[in-house]
Amino acid sequence: MIEINFDGIVGPTHNYAGLSFGNLASSNNAGAVSAPRLAALQGVAKMRRLMALGLRQGIFLPHVRPNVSWLRTLGFGGDDAEVLATAWSTDRALVANALSASAMWTANAGTVSPGTDTVDGLCHISVANLSTMPHRAAEAEQTERQLRLAFADPRVFHVHGPVPAPFGDEGAANFMRVVPPSGGRGVEIFVYGETGGGVFPSRQRRTASEAVARRHGLNPDRTLFVQQSEAAIAAGAFHNDVVAVANGHVVFAHEHAFADPAAFHAALRRIVPEVAIIEVPADRVDLDTAIRTYLFNSQLVTLPDGSMTLVLPAEARENAGVWTWLTELIESGGPIRRLEVVDVRESMRNGGGPACLRLRVQIEPDALAAIDPRFLLDDAACTRIEAVVAREWPEAIAFDDLGDPRLWARCHRACTALTQALGFQPDEI
Ligand code: SUG
């Protein structure tokens, strides 16, 4: 099996509107001035870095923004400019929702079960409904269109639409997969929240996870449903991937990530006895620090030589306690051999680290040809993206700019330019 990381290209409307209650970075940076051009270039630089490590990389396109059709469903009429202007004068938050670039965080695009784990041998993908937050719920439609385009070959893929609201499903951000060192079938782990301790909403419901597992035809003996700890959600871990990540036979998690870690570890060990669980104790890195630095929102990847590397955000490098712990981890001679630090600060300020920006898809190497090649990245495509971003993406967006008709027109044009540069027809996306 090979793994491809599909990163969301950061859209031209990237801004800090503070839309995600429970996501501390989003709330704390509300009203700050964003840098969309820099944000998109940081994203491409991360992709280039992973490709330089020998990994395969894919992309998803920014969703078309402003999302005028969404505002029309809320009763605003007239031509597009009129819809936006009336919405802005009625309720600015609605326009902020319609301009969100949140589709960049493709760990929330869907949940992927590779063919090794499913009853029919197909790679199943369920679009996430993201029903908890209005700006994210609006993503499902365009996400589904892109997933159906990228993974259209029915001999390899089965794409499912979203689970119905109100069963909140936020995709692979609440999903981990553990595989024995010998490879083969995986254990699929769905992490859900019961409550956020009365502080914040819990965005992934168990009902939704169970539906996804059923639809994907997973073997119940190799599927676990694990509750996220209330303390983690209350501390700002609005998705499990803020406090845990897995790759191969390794689970890397905070001590307080799960409601009952001992039961989870025991259940996992029964299925994969060789699993390596690396738990970071709270007395070395407390939950607040873990969430602030996004230590766990790293990409844990297997390099072509079989060794594992942790791709961390720069914020984790800058915290002495976190870095000391990581240095000891590398020196301990365990399965994680290397640390790579990437700068995705613009995304981080909205609560999206390196792992949020990518959706992992695992397939047999000969199935690579089944993916629409326009979604696969090489150096030339990176250069094309960078050129469009440098030319079309705004340099800065302040909250009040969200009401500026020139920004609406510019961002719409920028989305179209990128779509064309990557070989898509406007009506395909
Ligand atoms: O859903 N932030 C996203 C961040 C998603 C991170 N993804 C994972 N953890 N996998 C969210 O909360 C902020 C948008 C704003 O405030 O304008 C936002 O949507």
pLDDT band at 426 (very low <50, low <70, confident <90, very high): confident
Q: Give ∠ CA 409-18-400 in degrees, rounded to 5.
A: 40
Alpha carbons 28 and 51: distance in angstroms, whole number:
33
* Catalytic residue (one of 63, 123, 144, 170): 170
Q: Is the pLDDT of residue 379 over 90?
A: yes
User: What are 51's two structure tokens?
Assistant: 């490709």
Alpha carbons 298 and 338: distance in angstroms, whole number:
12
Q: Are 320 and 294 in contact (CB under 8 A)?
A: no
Ligand 1, atom nearest to 241 Cα: 9
CB of residue 19 inside a 6 A radius of ligand 1 = yes
**Cα-based distances in Å from 168 to 124, 162, 230, 233:** 19, 10, 17, 15
Alpha carbons 218 and 258: distance in angstroms, whole number:
22
Alpha carbons 36 and 15: distance in angstroms, whole number:
7
Active site annotation includes 123:
no
Q: Which residues pair with 111 in a beta bridge?
A: 126
Which of 356, 357, 360, 402 should be mutated for ligand 1, with most atoms under 8 A from CB?
356
257 CA distance to ligand 1 centroid (A)? 19
Q: Which residues pair with 258 in a beta bridge?
A: 228
DSSP 210-277: HHHHHHTTB-GGGEEEEEBPHHHHHTT--SGGGTEEEETTEEEEETTSBSSHHHHHHHHHHH-TT-EE
Ligand 1, atom nearest to 173 Cα: 10
Ligand 1, atom nearest to 171 Cα: 10
101 CA distance to ligand 1 centroid (A)? 9
pLDDT band at 429 (very low <50, low <70, confident <90, very high): confident
CB of residue 65 inside a 6 A radius of ligand 1 = no
Domains and CATH numbers, the chain: 2-65+100-428 (3.75.10.20)
CB of residue 5 inside a 6 A radius of ligand 1 = no
Residue partners of 193: CB distance under 8 A and separation at least 6: 202, 203, 204, 205, 227, 228, 230, 233
Which of 108, 169, 358 should be mutated for ligand 1, with most atoms under 8 A from CB?
108
User: What are 88's two structure tokens?
Assistant: 């802005």
Residue partners of 184: CB distance under 8 A and separation at least 6: 116
CB of residue 105 inside a 6 A radius of ligand 1 = yes
pLDDT value of residue 340: 98
Q: Are 244 and 253 in contact (CB under 8 A)?
A: yes
pLDDT value of residue 349: 97
299 CA distance to ligand 1 centroid (A)? 17
CB of residue 236 inside a 6 A radius of ligand 1 = no
Which of 7, 13, 20 should be mutated for ligand 1, with most atoms under 8 A from CB?
20
Active site annotation includes 124:
no
**Cα-based distances in Å from 43 to 22, 161, 348:** 24, 27, 11
| pLDDT, tens digit, 9 for 90 and up, residues 1-45 | 999 999 999 999 999 999 999 999 999 999 999 999 999 999 999
Q: ω before 134 within 30° of 0 (cis)? A: no
% the chain with pLDDT above 70 = 100
Short-list 271, 266, 236, 272, CA closest to 254: 236
Q: Is the pLDDT of residue 197 over 80?
A: no
Closest C-alpha residue for ligand 1 atom 17:
17
CB of residue 290 inside a 6 A radius of ligand 1 = no
Alpha carbons 388 and 392: distance in angstroms, whole number:
6
User: Please, is 316 exposed, middle or buried when counting C-beta atoms within 10 Å of its C-beta (0-12, 13-18, 19+)?
Assistant: buried
CB of residue 356 inside a 6 A radius of ligand 1 = yes
φ and ψ at 214, to 5 degrees?
Answer: -65, -50
Active site annotation includes 356:
yes
| pLDDT, tens digit, 9 for 90 and up, residues 94-151 | 999 999 999 999 999 999 999 999 999 999 999 999 999 999 999 999 999 999 999 9
CB of residue 100 inside a 6 A radius of ligand 1 = yes
Alpha carbons 124 and 361: distance in angstroms, whole number:
10
- Strands 110-113 and 308-313 turn out to be unpaired
Alpha carbons 243 and 36: distance in angstroms, whole number:
27
φ and ψ at 359, to 5 degrees?
Answer: -115, 125
Q: Identify the H or E element spanning 405.
A: helix 405-421
Ligand 1, atom nearest to 108 Cα: 10
Q: Which residues pair with 4 in a beta bridge?
A: 56, 361
Question: Does the predicted model carry a pTM greater than 0.85?
Answer: yes
Alpha carbons 310 and 297: distance in angstroms, whole number:
10
